[in-house]
Amino acid sequence: MSGFPILSLMLAIPTVAAVGCLFLSPSGARWLALIATLVDFVLGIGLWANFDIGGAQWQFVENAGSVGVFDWKLGIDGFALMLIMLSVFLMPICIGASWVAVQKRVQEYMACFLITEVLMIGTFAAQDLLLFYIFFEAGLIPMYLIIGIWGGANRIYASYKFFLYTLLGSLLMLVAMLWMIHYTGTTDIPTLLKTDFPRQVQTWLWLAFFASFAVKMPMWPVHTWLPDAHVQAPTAGSVILAGVLLKLGGYGFLRFSVPMFPEASSQLTWLILALSGIAVVYTSLVALVQSDMKKLIAYSSVAHMAIVTIGLFAFNQQGIEGAMVMMLSHGLVSGALFLCVGVIYDRLHTREIDRYGGLAINMPRYALLFLFFTMASIGLPGTSGFVAEFLSLLGTYQVSTVATAVCTTGIILGAAYMLYLYRRVVFGDLTKDDVRVMPDLSLREIALLAPVAAVVLWMGVYPESFLAPMRGDVATLVARVERAKPAGDSLPTAGHAVIPAAHVEARP
């Protein structure tokens, strides 16, 4: 498949379909969007199948030459592959989730989603700094429209907040990018990854990138746009926001901050650990008192993203792998949880937790799937959440025992708020008449949730499938940052080899 521009094709199909959607009837637009996203998914599988594990770091490289100041240069490594897979996997599910729920301005809605898909794939595949920025930043436009047009009551405030918050962070990053381009004379990301920037400038550059990625991530205290955006966005908007857009921040840290500025990363690890530690505990406590289901899951997202950041800044194989698995796992699980909320929201049109109760009686299939995703969110062994949290915390433990202890507390709180949510919504008596008549999952809804459940289980039972493509890249990254690795406070000492019994007496 070498030489075939599969990445450009994956970008072109949704673009063409998005333009096509504008000229079709509502149902035509739905079908076209579904077909386009499914085709992209199939291409994504082709990408994964042809990805040479252990081969070159950058694969499927395309270079169509210069476009003004930047180059049209695409290529992926294991990280990008996995995140692209996540995007193309969630996208048809998003379209399916909006099949019935979105009835107004369907053509524009589908076009916005397809454009979002293009921009997400582009962000992960870009190998040119400015091209990356363009894809990264352009995602604001469709998301602004999705939240603003199809969102809930307070959608306009949320859309502004989302847009301006993220724009401010990104522009600081752009300044840093321009500086890097002037310093190195290139916009090529693989080259920049091997460049050693001067020590004192690294800190500034790191902080500028941090301003952007921390907002996108989102990290405490700049997370406040997320609950607003989530609550007001339509279900599929929340899925894509939580599922993929939040990963842009983590991907940015992984692709830029850590490998390009290892010394600064090491120097500022305390900042990341402190903010993450606060985020885990604080947002978990906030989640505990929410009365709105979506808001609760949004706050849980912030907590989970904090686990990603501590893993990324662990400077070791386990931590970074854990962070990546956490991104994938959170993308699937929180996406699925938003779908679960969407299912009952479509029936009762409220997200108030107190309006529900006793769903286990009349919606058993729903109760089962919701329980499964709740457990995955908590990190029950056997689900993807466990693999992610375990690896991430294992890696972090080698850097900071305190941060690990704090973040583990957050996981316990996570179990508390998720189980509390589940108890209030699904268990108890079926007392409310309108809840009593709610039908169980339709075939369409099962078709949306079941594949996600299957992948969550797969990732939990056999994470090797997902870790293998990334292993080489993680090793490269760890080797790159090895020289700046901060001294950990856990002070692990090498264990003694098991001493053969015959020589026991010989030891003093």
Partner 1 sequence: MTDSLMMVLPEEILSIGSIVLMLIAAWGGQASTRMISWVAVAVLAGAMIALLGPASSGGVAFDGLFRADGFAAFSKVLIYGATAVSILLAPRFFKQTSGDDLRPEYPVLLLLSACGMGMMVSAGDLLVLYVGLELQSLAAYVLASFMRRDTRSAEAGLKYFVLGALASGILLYGISLVYGFSGSTLFPQIANAYAGIAPGTHNFGLMFGLVFVFAGLAFKMSAVPFHMWTPDVYEGAPTPVTAFFASAPKVAAVGLAVRVAVEAMGPAVDQWRQIVIFASLASIIFGAVAAIGQTNVKRLLAYSSINNVGFLLVGLAAGTQAGVAAVLFYLTVYVVMTLGSFLVVLQMRDADGQPVETLASLSGMSRTRPGLALAMAIFMFSLAGIPPLLGFNAKLAVFNAAMAAGLYPLAVVGFVASVIGAYYYLRVVKVMYFDEPIGDGFPKSGDIVEGGLITVAAVFVSPVGWLVLAPLGLATMAAAGSLF
In whole angstroms, how close is the CB of 61 to partner 1 at the nearest point?
Answer: 20
CB atoms under 10 Å from CB of 142, counted, come to: 23
In whole angstroms, how close is the CB of 66 to partner 1 at the nearest point?
Answer: 6
Residues found near partner 1 in the complex (CB under 8 A): 22, 66-69, 105, 108, 130, 133-135, 137-138, 140-141, 144-145, 148-149, 155-156, 159-160, 163-164, 167-168, 171-172, 174-175, 178-179, 181-182
**Cβ-contact 407, 306 below 8 angstroms:** yes
> Which one, 135 or 366, has the nearer CB to partner 1?
135
> Which one, 134 or 288, has the nearer CB to partner 1?
134
Whole-Å CA distances, 284 to 220, 277, 280, 416: 12, 11, 6, 9
> Which one, 197 or 466, has the nearer CB to partner 1?
197
> Which one, 22 or 437, has the nearer CB to partner 1?
22
In whole angstroms, how close is the CB of 182 to partner 1 at the nearest point?
Answer: 6
CA distance 338 to 159: 19
- Residue 103, class by beta-carbon neighbours within 10 Å (0-12 exposed, 13-18 middle, 19+ buried)? exposed
Q: Which uninterrupted H or E stretch holds 496?
A: none
The size of the chain, in residues, is: 508
Nearest to 369 by CA among 463, 290, 442, 287: 442
> Which one, 131 or 388, has the nearer CB to partner 1?
131
In whole angstroms, how close is the CB of 213 to partner 1 at the nearest point?
Answer: 17
CA distance 183 to 168: 23
Residue 367: partners with Cβ closer than 8 Å, 6 or more residues away: 359, 360, 426
Whole-Å CA distances, 253 to 137, 216, 220, 260: 16, 11, 16, 10
> Which one, 142 or 331, has the nearer CB to partner 1?
142
In whole angstroms, how close is the CB of 219 to partner 1 at the nearest point?
Answer: 19
User: Which pair of tokens denotes residue 343?
Assistant: 């299912």
> Which one, 163 or 253, has the nearer CB to partner 1?
163
In whole angstroms, how close is the CB of 225 to partner 1 at the nearest point?
Answer: 14
**Cβ-contact 318, 395 below 8 angstroms:** yes
In whole angstroms, how close is the CB of 433 to partner 1 at the nearest point?
Answer: 33
> Which one, 233 or 258, has the nearer CB to partner 1?
233
CA distance 503 to 36: 69
In whole angstroms, how close is the CB of 126 to partner 1 at the nearest point?
Answer: 12
In whole angstroms, how close is the CB of 188 to partner 1 at the nearest point?
Answer: 17
User: Which pair of tokens denotes residue 388?
Assistant: 């992610």
Nearest to 473 by CA among 52, 37, 162: 52
> Which one, 69 or 494, has the nearer CB to partner 1?
69
β-bridge partners, 62: 74
